[in-house]
Amino acid sequence: MSTAIVRSPSDDRDLDIVPETGCLSIIVLGASGDLAKKKTFPALYHLFKQGFLQSHEVHIFGYARTKLSDEGLRDRIRGYLSKGEDGESEDLVNFLHLIKYVSGSYDQEEGFVLLDKEISRHESLRNIQVGTSRRLFYLALPPSVYPSVCKMIRSYCMNQSDLGGWTRIVVEKPFGKDLSSAEELSSHLGELFTESQLYRIDHYLGKELVQNLLVLRFANRLFMPLWNRDNIANIQIVFREDFGTEGRGGYFDQYGIIRDIIQNHLLQVFCLVAMEKPVSLKPEYIRDEKVKVLQSVLPIAPEDVVLGQYDGYKDDPTVSQDSNTPTFASVVLRIHNERWEGVPFILKAGKALNSRKAEIRVQFKDVPGDIFKCQSQGRNEFVIRLQPSEAMYMKLTVKKPGLEMSTIQSELDLSYGQRYQGVQIPEAYERLILDTIRGDQQHFVRRDELKAAWEIFTPLLHKIDGGEIKSLPYKPGSRGPAEADELLAKAGYVQTHGYIWIPPTL
């Protein structure tokens, strides 16, 4: 568990955020789909329970092709909202009462004209002057329908923002499959909406310990002089799952682990780890520094890549029998700038592995003139564990208790579940939806940032798609291909033997 960041009014002034009140309409497109049921509506409900969404201001509209009544949609999502609750709470009843459903096509005007009529009716009931309300459209939809849906929103559902209101569009990944498709999508959206209206959501940027990265790096004198090539040997950013594609094989086979996890989630974390200090916390300054890091990444060399595919992946009937799609990838990125020249960043992600975790592992260089002869035990490491059991710990060498002068690896540990007992960790989607309502784009992907990210990975992805780089087999429940550990060693990572971090218990 962790603690949420509480903003003061002065923080909002620093970010140019003006607190707003008045009518807010949240429209969830794809309301009958899995993403909406499992993530979007629960996030909205939790914001409502915490008082961030007020019943006298907000109304929520579901829109999808499925023929449903208002009560039909409420019945579909009720079970996802009431998890952990005994019975049906007053909060749940009041929240469900805010939801209205509209059925319609994603590419025909009739449905969107009806949707606009329902939103306008809600706004008029609040006695709001036309154009002064706020409209937030959340696209819980496959990217293939983004162009038609956005065109319909632009033509029939826009708020008249010149009167003081706004319209904002939240789009989910994947943002294209390579550079050209991403640019095509960006161009289409850019013709319809300004960049300030678009919120490209990557839920990893809403995770508590990811949000903590800038605070750790730039609010602590301890780290500032150490965070460079003089002291750091290598940095790993790791995402591991202990299950396979499980029913998503057909979808996953179109994308693979690099498009699904590395090019977006892990690369966003990479930016926050490697970027320079921004001028201030204003979103554009932070995003400027992220773009600079991405533009400094050297082309990926074939020898810096290991791909894997777990045995049994092709047993899924929706997966091609000659598929080369990687379910595991380890990629070494190198940054050509003064701070990071020569420091390998290892981005590693995989499915059907021996554990489930996501972490950042910063390994420091050996101690020069080691008088204790303890380098064989391992190097100092700073580990930020993103999930599960959120924690930060510094792995270091200490004297082993006893009469002998011998050393052992131990840690300085900040485990959130122990330190912040009883504090509720906000879900990533809660934080990001709230940021969208507030107009804070810090944790969303800007168009030039997206372009720079695809420029890094598109050449590699085209080689994989063309069969030039093969996926190596590995057994489910293993660490992945043995060649990945060899790549890690070649990049300079020194394995610690005999030390295991154990999350402290309460």
Catalytic residues: 265
Looking only at the bridges linking them, the beta strands covering 444-445 and 232-240 are unpaired
Number of alpha carbons in the 13 Å side-chain half-sphere of residue 44: 30
Burial level of 31, CB count in 10 A (0-12/13-18/19+)? buried
Q: Which amino acid is at 158?
A: M
Sequence-ordered list of residues with C-beta below 8 angstroms from that of 198, at least 6 positions apart, any chain: 168, 169, 171, 189, 447
How many C-beta neighbours within 10 Å does residue 237 have? 26
At 202, is the secondary structure helix, strand, or coil?
Answer: coil
| Dihedrals phi, psi of 177, to nearest 5 degrees | -115, -15
Q: CA 275, CA 277: separation in Å to the nearest integer?
A: 7
Q: Which two tokens stand for residue 22?
A: 């008045």
Q: CA 485, CA 493: separation in Å to the nearest integer?
A: 9
Q: Both ends of the chain: CA-CA distance in Å?
A: 12
How many C-beta neighbours within 10 Å does residue 95 have? 25
Q: CA 192, CA 155: separation in Å to the nearest integer?
A: 9
For the chain, helix (H) and strand (E) counts, in that order, are 17, 16
The closest alpha carbon to 436, from 283, 288, 286, 268, belongs to 283
The closest alpha carbon to 353, from 330, 332, 327, belongs to 327
Q: Which two tokens stand for residue 462?
A: 């085209």
Q: CA 289, CA 339: separation in Å to the nearest integer?
A: 13
How many C-beta neighbours within 10 Å does residue 11 have? 12
- Asked if 272 and 213 count as a contact pair (C-beta separation under 8 A), the reply is yes
The closest alpha carbon to 438, from 9, 2, 3, belongs to 9
Q: Which two tokens stand for residue 333?
A: 């990125």
Q: CA 483, CA 490: separation in Å to the nearest integer?
A: 10
Sequence-ordered list of residues with C-beta below 8 angstroms from that of 83, at least 6 positions apart, any chain: 42
Q: Which two tokens stand for residue 365?
A: 């260089």
